[in-house]
Amino acid sequence: MSPSKPVPLVASLATSAALALSLALAPTAGAAEPAPREGSTAATASAPTVLEKRTRTPFVFKGNGYGTSVEGGELPVDSGRLALSSMACTTIAGKQNRNFVEESEIPGLGTVRGVSSKVVSRKKGSTTFQRSKHKVAEVVLAESPLGKLAIDGIVSTTKASFDTKTGWKASADTKLAGITFTPPVGPPQTIPIPSPGQTVPVPGLANITLGRMIQKPEPGKNRSRAYAVGVVVEVIPTGTTVKLARSMSKLEKGFKTGIFGGSAIPVKAKVLGELVQVGRVVRQVMPCLGTDGELVATDAADVNLGDQVVVQAASARQKGKQTNRRAVGTEVARIAKLDLGDGALVLDAIESRAKVTRLKSGKLKRSASAKVGAITAGGGDAQSLEELDGLEIPGLLKIETGLRKKIKDGIRMIGLRITLLDGTGAVIDLATSKMTIADR
């Protein structure tokens, strides 16, 4: 840092480091992927395996799902998704991804056993389809003075398909083997399984809803989609909402030049090597085939991310279009203002933009830019973020702007990064844009 930088600014940044530290470290409880018990098996999603001879198709497959996810209540951020398995946008039939976790303790829920997931893309005869299937053998809610609740045999299955004879189809299905409540005194009681969409209350413990499903064949849009959640549990003691056995399938036609990938995320944090989304500020993901040339906008009003940390006017913009000659996609992430410590440190007008063009010939063009406004500390004079790029306060924090990185089939730009230098490796990224266009 040059001697011309005002000392009060440094002092205020040092004060702000403590605030940034509290933000970055607060989510650690419950934010990372839940660790299985000693002796359990927790297989991560393996590389795609071959079901049959892989075939390139005129369709784009996308599917994903997980065994459990936990939101809200006493947890500051979304929990990890247990046994997550996904299939990114691809035109290749004959792929398969699997995942399995034998047993795990889930924060805000209890013990989960026998979690498995499977997503496949296939072409069989005249039918092309994407199928996702996710299972949870048993969930046991943490015991309380009111008793114990166990839910068994949860399964969700989705399928999106196209048949040259019958056209577009979508299906979703959920199953539940049983629900058992064990009171503090007396024998276990069997609770009637609810009908799809209905809720069964277990006083003082949980509200259980079965089978949230969406089936949408859309011939006019050359696609079909299906979504299913086996069971949704609202856990009363912790105020959390848990999704069990969630599946999603999507199949669409319209590939011409490239398959889009990308996102715009105004705020995210990296804590001890685990990437977590801070709060629910805006996260916009590019559709596989783009947006048909339309500008899609997502905005959020002022959002409080934690004690004395406020994001004002976070937004994301995206646009993607492809023709028989080229595919062009753009992602933009913006933050009007980030206020740390009620004015102790204020960051204004942070923006990043990433753009990729893929030509039919295979040539790829990448570009990215970042714009930053000013930084004000302790109510003092505004400073240019460009001038402060690379500012480091030993043992406290480092500020970097305009972090550009070439990635496979695209590019990523981070508008501003705050790295804490206390040994935790905690990082806060502001205005992250990523854009990719693959050829299959």
- Residue by residue, what is the 3-state secondary structure of 266-331? EEEEEECCEEECCCCCCCEECCCCCCCCCCEEEEECCEEEECCEEEEEEEEEEEEEECCCEEEEEE
> Do 269 and 300 belong together in one domain?
yes
Residue-number span of the structural domain to which 42 is assigned: 35-253
Residue 2 placed within a domain: no
Q: Please tell me whether residue 20 adopts helix, strand or coil conformation.
A: helix
> Do 241 and 104 belong together in one domain?
yes
Q: Which two tokens stand for residue 324?
A: 């028989």
Residue 138 placed within a domain: yes
> Do 223 and 345 belong together in one domain?
no
Q: Which two tokens stand for residue 33?
A: 């992927």
Pick the last residue of a domain from 205, 234, 253. Answer: 253
Residue 17 placed within a domain: yes
> Do 156 and 297 belong together in one domain?
no
Residue 1 placed within a domain: no
Residue 108 placed within a domain: yes
Residue 277 placed within a domain: yes
> What gap in Å lies between CA 246 and CA 211, rounded to an integer?
10
Residue that wins the pLDDT comparison between 381 and 20: 381
Q: What is the DSSP letter of 220?
A: G
| H helix or E strand, kind and range, residue 81 | none
Taking only the tens place, the pLDDT of each residue in 55-85 is 999 999 999 989 888 776 654 444 557 888 8
Output phi, psi for 362, to 5 deg. Answer: 105, -10
Pick the last residue of a domain from 221, 253, 285. Answer: 253
Residue 72 placed within a domain: yes
DSSP-assigned beta bridge partners for residue 438: 259
Pick the last residue of a domain from 223, 253, 283. Answer: 253
pTM of the predicted structure, to 2 decimals: 0.74
Output phi, psi for 177, to 5 deg. Answer: -75, -40
Vertex 354 angle, CA 352 and 359, to 5°? 170
> Do 234 and 383 belong together in one domain?
no
> Do 237 and 333 belong together in one domain?
no
> Do 271 and 223 belong together in one domain?
no
Q: How confident is the model at residue 211 (pLDDT cuts 50, 70, 90)?
A: confident
Q: Is 80 exceeded by the pLDDT of residue 426?
A: no
> Do 246 and 347 belong together in one domain?
no
> Do 220 and 106 belong together in one domain?
yes
> Do 15 and 48 belong together in one domain?
no
Average pLDDT over residues 93-104: 92
- What pLDDT does residue 153 have? 95
Kindly tell me the burial class for residue 197, based on how many C-beta atoms sit within 10 Å of its own C-beta (0-12, 13-18, 19 or more): exposed
Report how many domains make up the chain.
2
> Do 104 and 147 belong together in one domain?
yes
Q: How confident is the model at residue 303 (pLDDT cuts 50, 70, 90)?
A: low
> What gap in Å lies between CA 352 and CA 265, rounded to an integer?
10
- What pLDDT does residue 304 have? 66
Residue 367 placed within a domain: yes
> Do 212 and 284 belong together in one domain?
no
